[in-house]
Amino acid sequence: MTGIFSPDLEGRDPRSRGSRGAGVVLELGAWAEARWRPEGRRRRWVREASGAPLPITEEVVRRGADGAPGALSVVVRHELPIGQGFGMSAAGALAAGLAVARLLDRPARAAVETAHLAELFGGGGLGGVAAIQGGGLELRVRSGLPPFGRVRHLPYGGPVYLAVAGPPLPSPELLGDPRFLARVRRAADEGLPGLAAAFGRERFLEASERFGDRIALPPAAIHRTIGRLRARRVRVLRAMFGSSLVALPGTAAEAGRLEEGLREEGIPAVRLRAAAVGPFARPGPCPTPAPPATASLLNRRRPRAAP
């Protein structure tokens, strides 16, 4: 989940392109299960468990299985909504690429590069694949994948709240608009230098809040909701991209004020943690997603009427 970013698309090698910025690597992500039948007609099949289209992941699977005979099928399961700024496009593309590489005994490094490039050229994101190579808070000091890029990871054990307050906001159209990208760079230039100098939870929240306020993505109702939650002395920021809110409360009292505010607003949310590590493999089929036991925040009050 990215809170602040600055696009960098000028590198000659596309592996050096992406973004500088910062975010949180979430414990909920994406799982991919690949199966291969070498004999028979050559075929590639990618399916999301919920039926959502996955053009970027399909490109990763096609390139990752290049030259392999027979039929290859990949099932991807996303644990959070796609198009809400939670990094699910990058997570799903990377999971599928790594699953195919493991099955066909191909280098994992190539799968990571393929997922990064598919995200970059497919409009899915500018730095998600690089960011999720580790856990906790992440700071993209230089854009792109290592050795071109550089990403710092800082362990973070506090709670992370995600609240979906509106419909998905697809990123390809915005990321292809030069005027929007110029506005993003100007906003990021205010917060990134200080963030790099003293990277931590408080500085990350401060820089991301200011960045999101300056970008002011639609709809305006999201910003009014953020304002009402902040009036409760809660640090809240908007994920890039999506209609979702993110909070990393530093105390139990702040978490309580946040939960009460979300119930007043009638906004569904989950409480989870930052990931401890980056991508990993496990045997067996994709696990059935289920929110953590402490995740559900019940909307016990009537949702606030729309203005």
To the nearest whole percent, how much of the chain has pLDDT over 90?
78
Judge whether 61 lies within some domain. yes
Calpha distance 104→57 (Å, rounded): 17
Judge whether 119 lies within some domain. yes
Judge whether 290 lies within some domain. no
pTM tops 0.85: yes
Judge whether 174 lies within some domain. yes
Judge whether 33 lies within some domain. yes
Average pLDDT, the chain: 90
Question: How many domains are contained in the chain?
Answer: 1
Q: State the residue range of the domain holding 57.
A: 2-273
Mean pLDDT computed over 148-153: 97
Judge whether 292 lies within some domain. no
Calpha distance 86→143 (Å, rounded): 19
Judge whether 99 lies within some domain. yes
pLDDT digits (tens, 9 = 90+) for 91-148: 999 999 999 999 999 999 999 999 999 999 998 889 999 999 999 999 999 999 999 9
Judge whether 90 lies within some domain. yes
What's 129's domain CATH number?
Answer: 3.30.230.10
pLDDT digits (tens, 9 = 90+) for 179-195: 999 999 999 998 999 99
